[in-house]
Amino acid sequence: MIALLMRLVAGTALMLLVVVLALLFDGADRIISARMQRRLGPPLLQPFLDLLKLLGKENIVPRRAVPWVFNGAPWVAAASMLLVFLYIPVGSVPPVLGVHGDLILILYLLGLSGVAMAVGGFASGNPIANVGAQREMILMMSYELPLAVVASTLAWVAYKTGMPGDPFNLETFAGMSVWGMSGKIGFIGIFCLMVALILVVPGETGKGPMDIPEAKTEILDGLIIEYSGRNLAMFKITFALRAMALSALITALFFPWSPASFLRLGGIFLFTFDFVWFWVKVFVVQIFVVTLMRTTFGRFKIWQASEFYLVKVAGLSIAGMILASLGLVV
């Protein structure tokens, strides 16, 4: 009973922390993107101000909408993204709900968030939102293949090399780096898998070149066009959480290193340092895989995005799978 209560308190505290960090990272993302374009940009706390404004506004439900689906979709999307962080180890701090196969569960939760957003768009009864929801579903079907290949290949490498722990458990990769486990050929394969996962991030987050379901200059925010008030606030939180969740996943899988061992820290100091260091790494990864990409590249057309993921990114992930497998036998 005490253990359950401690997990409940830890999970609640972690979810509050990730919401605050996600909004801070989103504010930093806006500032860095603006500076890259020689603009001043909004204040760092602008996402918090936007959220407070939306929470104080009226929650309008369109006449043609399916009310319970329309109102429930934003909360399901936000809740599924919050649950992702309960299964990700934060440095040397174990996950709140770590179980066997949590990597698979994280992929399902990421997919559930996207499905909830698409269903909310369909339920709004707006033809523009319908177009945005269709685009969201096409994107999901396109990038799920390389995402699944990356996850299954990393688990296969962990299993064949005897890495301690469950091969589908993120704690396995957080405790030991996967980079040196399959030789030089395997190293190239792991690098291909990392690049493939990084290229999936714009599609998962709907930012930059994959800002297709919302596309403000084309379909006026797309699938969230009819949302306002608290519901829109939940979607804004979801967007910020998705960017940070993917960055945290990349960090846990490919960048588990910490200088704590060199500093000879122990006890509570080790856990505190690793906890803070993990979020620093997540922020740096998010700047590279989200901010730089969305600022540098223009928006794809939907058929270009689908071809990009089903042919190029999937091909890169399969090449990484083959090279990683060869590294285990050569």
The SS3 of residue 4 is helix
Q: What is the mean pLDDT of the chain?
A: 81
Stated pTM of the model: 0.86
Asked if residue 22 has pLDDT above 80, the reply is yes
Query: Would you tell me how many other CB atoms lie within 10 Å of the CB of residue 206?
Result: 24
For the chain, which residues make up each domain, given as ranges? 2-329
| 140: nearest Cα among 223, 23, 25 | 223
- State in Å, rounded, how far the first CA of the chain is from the last one: 50
The pLDDT-based confidence of 220 (bands split at 50, 70, 90) is low
Asked if residue 272 has pLDDT above 70, the reply is yes
Report the pLDDT averaged over residues 275-303.
83
Q: Please give the pLDDT value at position 121.
A: 81
Asked if residue 215 has pLDDT above 80, the reply is no
Name the token pair of 40: 């001043």
In angstroms, the CA 192 to CA 318 distance is 9
The pLDDT-based confidence of 267 (bands split at 50, 70, 90) is low
The pLDDT-based confidence of 184 (bands split at 50, 70, 90) is confident
DSSP character string of 7-71:
HHHHHHHHHHHHHHHHHHHHHHHHHHHHHHTT-----TTHHHHHHHHHHTS-----TTS-HHHHH
- Cβ atoms of 47 and 27 within 8 Å: the answer is yes
Instruction: Look at 136-150, 184-198, 199-213 and tell me which has the smallest mean pLDDT.
Output: 199-213
Most confident of 54-58, 78-82, 218-222: 78-82
| 31: nearest Cα among 254, 287, 210, 278 | 287
Query: For the chain, where are the alpha helices, taking DSSP H only?
Result: 2-36, 46-55, 67-84, 102-123, 127-160, 170-175, 183-205, 216-219, 229-254, 260-263, 267-286, 292-296, 302-307, 314-329
- Cβ atoms of 275 and 91 within 8 Å: the answer is yes
Kindly state the percentage of the chain with pLDDT values over 90.
Answer: 1
